[in-house]
Structure 1
Amino acid sequence: MRVGIIGAGKMGLWLKREISALHEVYLHDVDERKSEKPLGELVSDSDVIIVAVGFRDVSKVLQGLSAMPLCGKLVMDIASFKKYVLDGYRALPDCALAATVHPMFGPGAESIKGKKVVVMEVPGRQGVEMAEDFFRGLGARVVRGSLDDHEKYVRYTIALSYAVGLALARIYSKYGDALEKYGGTSFRYLSIYVESLLGDPSAELYAEEARDVLDEFIEALRAKGMPRPTMDPAEAYELFYRALSTLGY
């Protein structure tokens, strides 16, 4: 199978590395120095096209593909927030296959094998089963998702995590080394997390997607009482210290 990837950012390059183990892969980017094929040639030569650009840029890329020969080809995106991508899929010719995909990990992952990939149907389009087969063939753990549920819950699982992390980063930066001197296990864990966010150029955009749930977050800060655990707290504590050990603490 021939696979074209549009976008030579970290995730695009990571996907190229993983997919190249089984398929022929071509790369295109707006930066010609990073491109292996012009866009038109990439589309013509590919059976599968993966759009791996920032989530607010996916629709524009899809619209740019709309006049190209896409009949029978599978077009996918890997955007974290899907409300921005659907207009782009509507622009594609009816004969194009499509699915919208969310790898639930970043380019720091060692391999795609065993990692969770959520695959969702693009309304009015065939192609979701083909997308599932494609990622399952790479060794991923494929989960069929719902667009409505995805948009509801990624505000909590991704956007809110980024918002909290960036807020902590801004606070931590005010006090510098003093916090390190008096920081314990929780601080060590959180400080590593927030530092990792500072290397993500999309971090602020991700955090902005939490704006609709920030009131709920603030309300939860003011609430009293412990929520019901979803796993054994003793097991969670053990896993937490195992993670700290990996971080050198």
Structure 2
Amino acid sequence: MDRKRRPSRRYEKSCAGISGGKTMKVAVIGVGGMGKWFAKLFKDAGDEVLVHDIKAKRMKMVAEELGVEFGEAEDIARKSELVIVAVPISAAPETIEKIARVLGSRSLLVDICSVKEEIVDTMKELKTEAEMASIHPLFGPGASDLRGKDIIFVPVKVDRMYKKFKERISEMGANVVEMKADEHDKLMAVVQCLPHFSVLSFVLTLNSMKDFLVEDVKTPMFAHLLLASKAFLTRSPKLYGEIQVHNKYASIVRERMLEVCRSLDVALSAGDAGVVEKEFMELKKLFSRKEMEKAYKLLYELFERREER
């Protein structure tokens, strides 16, 4: 175990533990991409971090890399003030039930899953002394820190510990937005499920049209859709699938997208090129002219930067 490192400057204001101490014990259950990210976040902030993962090899590798302790889930949770459940969506309710049983009144249990209604319903049924909340960081493990990042908080059973935790996350630079579980899932159906489904559909279509791609040429728009596709394919396909399946509003959004595509296809197949101009007139009301011009300029700046490499 390495010696306790001094927290980096940007975290010095946020080193007050949620139970009143200068630092706190944080248990992270599940150290895949985001679990490991949060373990490192709190380790760098000077907290004592303990980790657990169902995959023993990964658990030990992460513990060694970060210089933290590892152990059984219930054991490390029992010792901690903050317990972060970072397991797949399908495994979260069972894991939360198991961990909640060993926690006392001076603990806060949170999950970081992308879908909330099922998990919050599970939390509401639990008989535990611990405070509970469901949070969703709207970014992946590629983020360097919390500054400017949005995190949605869904309070379930909350008091002083939750308030302190929310304050601390804000002090670390995050934009904390509080809402209900159903509000979260409806919002994420559009903000998360729709772009995931759109990019996946684009890549699948592209893959089926390889015989059309006789030369390696790109337009700025195509180049940036490719960029989004490549980034998309680096993350967990299991997570993408579970987000679509467990968010009950995702199917509504997918069906709406398909309806829009079918409507456009019918009009264009009938030779109605004017349908695009008609839709543009309505869609341009969504943004100011300044916003659109700025986006167009940025698109070309990024495209030409890529061409220079």
Question: What's the TM-score once normalised by structure 1's chain length?
Answer: 0.89
Give the percent of matched residue pairs that are identical in Structure 1 and Structure 2: 24
SS in 2 for 1:100: strand
From 1, 15, 21, give the equivalent of 2:38. 15
CA distance in 1, matches of 2:214, 2:189: 29
Structure 2 CA distance for partners of 1:207 and 1:135, relative to 1, 3 Å: same
- Tell whether 2:263 aligns with 1:229: no
Structure 2 CA distance for partners of 1:102 and 1:244, relative to 1, 3 Å: farther
CA distance in 1, matches of 2:218, 2:141: 29
Structure 2 CA distance for partners of 1:219 and 1:175, relative to 1, 3 Å: closer
Greater Rg over alpha carbons, structure: 2
Structure 2 CA distance for partners of 1:242 and 1:25, relative to 1, 3 Å: farther
8 Å Cα contact 1:59-1:87 kept in structure 2 = no
Cα distance, 1:175 vs. partner?
Answer: 3.1
Partner of 1:218: 258
Q: Deviations over 1:113-147 (max 9, x none)?
A: 2212121212x544542331231233322222332
- Tell whether 2:95 aligns with 1:38: no
From 295, 300, 303, give the equivalent of 1:241. 300
CA distance in 2, matches of 1:248, 1:2: 48
8 Å Cα contact 2:90-2:242 kept in structure 1 = no
Deviates more, 1:33-42 or 1:71-80: 33-42
CA distance in 2, matches of 1:205, 1:12: 17
CA distance in 2, matches of 1:248, 1:64: 53
CA distance in 2, matches of 1:64, 1:157: 31
Structure 2 CA distance for partners of 1:62 and 1:179, relative to 1, 3 Å: farther
- Tell whether 2:93 aligns with 1:59: yes
- Tell whether 2:241 aligns with 1:204: yes
Cα distance, 1:107 vs. partner?
Answer: 0.7
Partner of 1:95: 129
RMSD: 2.3
Cα distance, 1:236 vs. partner?
Answer: 1.8
Q: Deviations over 1:175-205 (max 9, x none)?
A: 3481762431111111121222223232233
Equivalent residue letter for 1:193: A
From 190, 215, 221, give the equivalent of 2:225. 190
- Tell whether 2:52 aligns with 1:28: yes
Structure 2 CA distance for partners of 1:86 and 1:248, relative to 1, 3 Å: farther
Structure 2 unmatched runs, 5+:
1-23, 60-69, 265-277
Deviates more, 1:144-153 or 1:15-24: 144-153
CA distance in 1, matches of 2:88, 2:122: 14
SS in 2 for 1:30: coil
CA distance in 2, matches of 1:86, 1:29: 22
Equivalent residue letter for 1:28: H
Q: What aligned pairs does 1:73-222 form with structure 2 within 5 A after superposition?
A: 73-122=107-156, 124-126=157-159, 128-176=162-210, 178=213, 181-199=216-234, 200-201=236-237, 202-208=239-245, 209=247, 210-221=250-261, 222=263
Structure 2 CA distance for partners of 1:242 and 1:20, relative to 1, 3 Å: farther
CA distance in 1, matches of 2:214, 2:123: 48
SS in 1 for 2:226: helix
CA distance in 1, matches of 2:120, 2:206: 38
Cα distance, 1:71 vs. partner?
Answer: 2.4
Cα distance, 1:33 vs. partner?
Answer: 2.5
Cα distance, 1:245 vs. partner?
Answer: 5.1
Structure 2 CA distance for partners of 1:117 and 1:183, relative to 1, 3 Å: same
Q: Deviations over 1:32-76 (max 9, x none)?
A: 223312112211221000111122221111011132133220001
